[in-house]
Structure 1
């Protein structure tokens, strides 16, 4: 097979006939959780992914909706192959929660103080950069020197480290409510002050996804809408490069959250009594049925037995702690949120500022930034989503936001 033009790949360069790949006539079977709330476009995308010759197992989470390549909420296990658009553009996007032994009533008593700290802790927006270059061990990783594509993005990554994205990304203060003692979470029942953030790998992750998707498309020309599911073998140089770059982007996303939480902890003069984090838009090497597989979770999160995570939702502006059950039917996966029921364009055209403001007042939320495309009404009902995955996760606590910082 001819080598792709790895320095200048373009989606318009189809390669040779040797690059043509076909789908299987029948795909691997997959479970759909909460199928009554999952649209046909997402199910159709999952059907095409299940027909890939490298596909071994799959599942669709109850927050699923259509995306590029895999649907958002799609889980796909493959044999020694990684699909860049099966991971997604915002590689390693994650939730991170710091729990402080501070009375949450202080959020109302000192609202201006906490609002100021959110504004000073990070920048929001797709292209935003800090004026100074950050210092962090993730920027010293050898991959930045060993992989030419990464070398070109190192400086911008340094300028964006500790920043946050646009859309549904946020940093917020709120009230943590632990309902009962859980041996894994390890917190006494009660109410705490919480700091919750949601963002990913910024321009670094997007650049990695675009670059290696173009290469994958050249190496495997798939028919029709399956084109975005082109894969790279981990036995190939290109596949191993992507794997290293993806893992670097995931660690970079974690470092962004670390910097934000460290800044705010120092401002509060307290260290968190508990931190919980989980990520999506990633691929993991895992053992399922005694076999090592590459498990892609695009807008889905790992939910192995006793694994902690956070499922954010906005229809009643709360977030949820959850603990995984390790269900084989979902490849030990769970939803990553409530999931959209309206596209951004639909939300902008049908939701008014009056309705958004009324919802925020009802729940006592102070929103800094944000837009109608992220209004609670644009998302699915979380009670229905959670009831659809009772076999996948347990609920061990809630987080109710009070001061929310978003782009805009």
Structure 2
């Protein structure tokens, strides 16, 4: 017997898609003594006669929201263009429809100049993950994303694959000793790291940022949860790379993926809320609320976003420094790139704000890392500077299953089997991060051959992720 209530149930009752459903579902979490049938009866009654429920202890909030919605006028909102600006989609045959719908809404904003979908795109909040959007003098907090400045970092070592296989236990010990995972987790006391980023003046000038300094300090040098990882693998160069000065061959490499932790997430939530207060968009576009960069709020967010990006970089620097020191070797090269960010760039002769939510910068000659999954290869790439893609590429393989779908359809034994087939040692991670939950990285790379050149291939061998149940991205 069905006991849960979801958005589709409320739509069936006549609730419009949008904010009212969110209000109603929050009430459902608080229900006391009412079964599913009774809740549905009340939902229907409130929708029909909201005035009668204005002072109801449980349904009053919903009733007031319905009344406010009924009193809204079209003139209360910023108008969207009737038709979206056209945009390219790379690998469009394997991008879900929800991502296209979200991108089409973004392309109707009055601030939009251009956009593009990368081949790993899938639905998110506001701008789809894998979405790139150029705007005029405006920044969209949810166009940047919750995990501000999330990034990839790669250290290449003068260590052979043969040495790695002969000493795999040592490499496993170093990953465990020098990384920390999990939503909300951090270091305490003598184990805390330090970094010059904590001395940034914004920690004294912005009240919100100041209130987050202790959390930022405790989580400095950690990796969070979700799809974040620290892993050792073998990096394969099929030919000499003169720019990196690395000869053809196979090398041990350390690859990390994580962002700005709770520090960035709190900044994102705060300024998204502020943006929605000052930028009233229709329901279908409300998560694309933007801030004028000439406004005080816009400048506040811009500075906080940039600090969160520097903080994310510092977290990677600390992890890589600790592990390099423990291995007793200097790096041959280190490459780093970030996504979930906004940049000031020139597009067709005009300065614009380029949002890359889950997309890799790929201007001509710019290096980046595009991972596959815990068993699929990742790729060290060099951008080609494709203008139609707004100088961007994918940030990974992209999900083909939601986390819930993966947990419900992938068995632990199937995941262990594929790890064994690829000779990968996994520390942590839940079924939601199983390789089968991701798109085929080879298909994704084939769809963006005009965007990047492949420099080397990374084969994962020891992967550490957060334990089951950790959802922080």
Shared fold (TM-score greater than 0.5)?
yes
Deviation of the 1:353 alpha carbon: 1.0
1:35 maps to which of 81, 89, 92: 92
SS of 1:105's partner is helix
Counterpart of 2:435 in structure 1 is 376
Per-residue CA deviations over 1:43-96 (Å, capped at 9, x if unaligned) read: 000000000000000000010000001000000000000000000000000000
Task: Map 1:241-390 to 2 at 5 A.
Answer: 241-314=300-373, 316-390=375-449
Gap regions ≥5 residues in structure 1: 1-11
SS of 2:161's partner is coil
Q: Is the counterpart of residue 88 in structure 1 residue 148 in structure 2?
A: no
Gap regions ≥5 residues in structure 2: 1-64, 468-473
Counterpart of 2:130 in structure 1 is 73
SS of 1:262's partner is helix
Q: Is the counterpart of residue 47 in structure 1 residue 100 in structure 2?
A: no
Deviation of the 1:316 alpha carbon: 4.6
CA distance in 2, matches of 1:162, 1:324: 28
Deviation of the 1:107 alpha carbon: 2.6
Give the count of matched residue pairs: 396
- 26 and 225 in structure 1: CA distance in 2 versus 1, 3 angstrom threshold: same
Per-residue CA deviations over 1:78-136 (Å, capped at 9, x if unaligned) read: 00000000000000000000000011223322222211111111210110010134321
Q: Are the counterparts in 2 of residues 19 and 218 from structure 1 also a CA contact under 8 Å?
A: no
CA distance in 2, matches of 1:295, 1:29: 17
CA distance in 1, matches of 2:465, 2:170: 17
SS of 2:88's partner is strand
Q: Is the counterpart of residue 99 in structure 1 residue 170 in structure 2?
A: no
Counterpart of 1:227 in structure 2 is 286
Q: Are the counterparts in 2 of residues 96 and 276 from structure 1 also a CA contact under 8 Å?
A: yes
Per-residue CA deviations over 1:314-343 (Å, capped at 9, x if unaligned) read: 285211111100001100000000000000
Per-residue CA deviations over 1:245-269 (Å, capped at 9, x if unaligned) read: 0000000000000000000011011
Per-residue CA deviations over 1:9-51 (Å, capped at 9, x if unaligned) read: xxx999x988631211122221011110001100000000000
Q: Are the counterparts in 2 of residues 286 and 292 from structure 1 also a CA contact under 8 Å?
A: yes
Structure with greater proportional helix content: 2
Q: Are the counterparts in 1 of residues 85 and 114 from structure 2 also a CA contact under 8 Å?
A: yes
Q: Are the counterparts in 2 of residues 330 and 392 from structure 1 also a CA contact under 8 Å?
A: yes
SS of 2:413's partner is helix
Give the structure-1-normalised TM-score. 0.95
Q: Are the counterparts in 2 of residues 304 and 332 from structure 1 also a CA contact under 8 Å?
A: yes
SS of 2:269's partner is helix
Give the structure-2-normalised TM-score. 0.82
Q: Are the counterparts in 1 of residues 272 and 289 from structure 2 also a CA contact under 8 Å?
A: yes
CA distance in 1, matches of 2:129, 2:356: 9
Deviation of the 1:244 alpha carbon: 0.2
Task: Map 1:122-137 to 2 at 5 A.
Answer: 122-132=179-189, 133-137=192-196
Q: Are the counterparts in 2 of residues 70 and 298 from structure 1 also a CA contact under 8 Å?
A: yes
Q: Which has the larger radius of gyration?
A: 2
SS of 1:30's partner is coil
Structure with greater proportional strand content: 1
Deviation of the 1:186 alpha carbon: 2.7
Q: Tell me which of the two structures has the higher relative contact order, counting C-alpha pairs closer than 8 angstroms and 6 or more residues apart.
A: 1
CA distance in 2, matches of 1:251, 1:131: 21
CA distance in 2, matches of 1:186, 1:304: 21
Counterpart of 1:163 in structure 2 is 222
- 238 and 19 in structure 1: CA distance in 2 versus 1, 3 angstrom threshold: farther
